[in-house]
């Protein structure tokens, strides 16, 4: 389903290059100065961000920064559970940070850090590992899906234990909410279960996080196959529009997008290809469906694709330009990430120390 939306406006580097906002803990160990609910979200540094990622997740993060106390992290430790190129992982981590900043993540309002910068993530994951049964871990469908690509025998133990690290990521920061998609729902349930079990067995330690039900957003489908969601893992050069695509590439991909043989341009969910294009037009033009249908009355797909291509080029241009500007300042990216990590580390430390003491570690 579509939602009217607009491309984010991005501040200048000089306005972002300030110390991130304080994000104190909700626990008694670190005084909480914020009355906002705390939300925790993460993204892996694998592949480029495409239009579906942006409208379905990243833009929601940007738009929620005044409403919530947000902690965003780049889940690079999760990325090593699968075969990878170390240099590419390092590079893609900084590129993702630059892209999130370019999209509008403001580190005066939110924290943005790299998972591996805080040692308490794997430390707490081990404690949780020792409190999750093999049966519960074995029921996680993501391990089955990912290990099937090679074979369960060749899959890493890290991939099997992935949910424990994800639980540690969440529980360390005493969050109120975690935005979850369908593929992560099971992991949040495991997180809640192990936190409740630990609290019962050893004493009050973890805050129990709740799923955050996002406002209905845009579900962008593949340009070449509108029956599946737009994905960076799908093959085909015309499947997805990436935020860093050049104007020429965006225009070409839209022109080649799958439609149908009917002529009338209307919002009809049964006409998947057309509906997908009209959803994009609705979001970025900020027009009503009635106005859009009137605009294209008597016109063909060529006109729709031409105008949509131009609209996307202009809407994404500020993000591309901002990204290029940030990438020229690698020191700035590192400073932003390190500063945010310094702000949230005391929260993680307090949670880990509680768990460590309660379970009897010295």
Q: Which residues are catalytic?
A: 146, 229, 232
3-class DSSP assignment, residue 72: strand
Cα–Cα dist 358/134, whole Å: 23
Cα–Cα dist 265/295, whole Å: 10
Query: With b meaning 16 or more CB within 10 Å and e meaning fewer, what string describes 169-208?
Result: bbbbbbbbbbbbeeebeebbebbbebbebbeeebeebbbe
Give CA angle at 318 (74, 242), nearest 5°.
Answer: 55
Report yes or no: 115 and 155 within 8 Å, Cβ to Cβ: no
DSSP string, 160-219: HTHHHHHHHHHHTTT-SEEE--TTTHHHHHHHHHHHHHHHHHH-S--PPPEEE-PPP---
Report yes or no: 43 and 96 within 8 Å, Cβ to Cβ: yes
Residue 162: closest CA among 75, 80, 78, 93: 78
Backbone angles phi, psi at 235, to 5 degrees: -80, 160
Residue 246: closest CA among 325, 324, 302, 317: 317
CA dist list (Å): 262 to 37, 142, 253? 48, 40, 21
């Amino acid at each position: 389903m579509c939602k009217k939306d607009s491309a984010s406006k991005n501040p200048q580097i000089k306005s972002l290059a300030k110390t991130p906002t304080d994000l104190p803990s909700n626990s008694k160990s670190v005084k909480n100065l914020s009355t906002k609910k705390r939300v925790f979200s993460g993204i892996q540094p694998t592949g480029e961000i495409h239009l579906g990622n942006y409208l379905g997740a990243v833009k929601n993060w940007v738009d929620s920064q005044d409403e919530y106390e947000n902690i965003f992290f780049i889940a690079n430790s999760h990325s090593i559970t699968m075969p990878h190129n170390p240099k590419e992982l390092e590079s893609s981590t900084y590129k993702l940070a630059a892209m999130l900043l370019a999209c509008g993540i403001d580190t005066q309002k939110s924290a943005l850090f790299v998972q591996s910068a805080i040692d308490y993530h794997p430390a707490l994951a081990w404690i949780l590992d020792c409190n999750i049964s093999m049966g519960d871990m074995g029921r996680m469908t993501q391990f089955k899906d990912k290990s099937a690509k090679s074979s369960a025998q060749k899959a890493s133990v890290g991939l099997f234990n992935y949910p424990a690290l994800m639980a540690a990521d969440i529980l360390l920061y005493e969050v109120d909410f975690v935005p979850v998609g369908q593929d992560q729902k099971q992991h949040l349930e495991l997180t809640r279960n192990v936190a409740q079990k630990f609290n019962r067995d050893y004493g009050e330690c973890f805050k129990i996080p709740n799923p955050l039900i996002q406002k209905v957003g845009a579900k962008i489908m593949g340009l070449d196959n509108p029956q599946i969601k737009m994905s960076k893992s799908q093959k085909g050069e015309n499947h997805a529009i990436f935020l860093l695509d050049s104007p020429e590439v965006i225009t070409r991909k839209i022109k080649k997008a799958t439609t149908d043989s009917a002529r009338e341009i209307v919002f009809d969910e049964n006409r998947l290809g057309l509906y997908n294009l009209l959803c994009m037009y609705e979001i970025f033009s900020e027009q009503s469906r009635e106005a859009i249908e009137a605009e294209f009355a008597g016109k063909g797909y060529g006109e729709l694709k031409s105008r949509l291509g131009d609209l996307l080029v202009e809407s994404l241009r500020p993000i591309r330009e901002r990204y290029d500007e940030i990438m020229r300042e690698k020191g700035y990216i590192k400073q932003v990430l390190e500063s945010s990590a310094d702000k949230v580390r005391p929260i993680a430390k307090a949670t880990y120390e509680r768990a460590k003491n309660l379970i009897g570690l010295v």
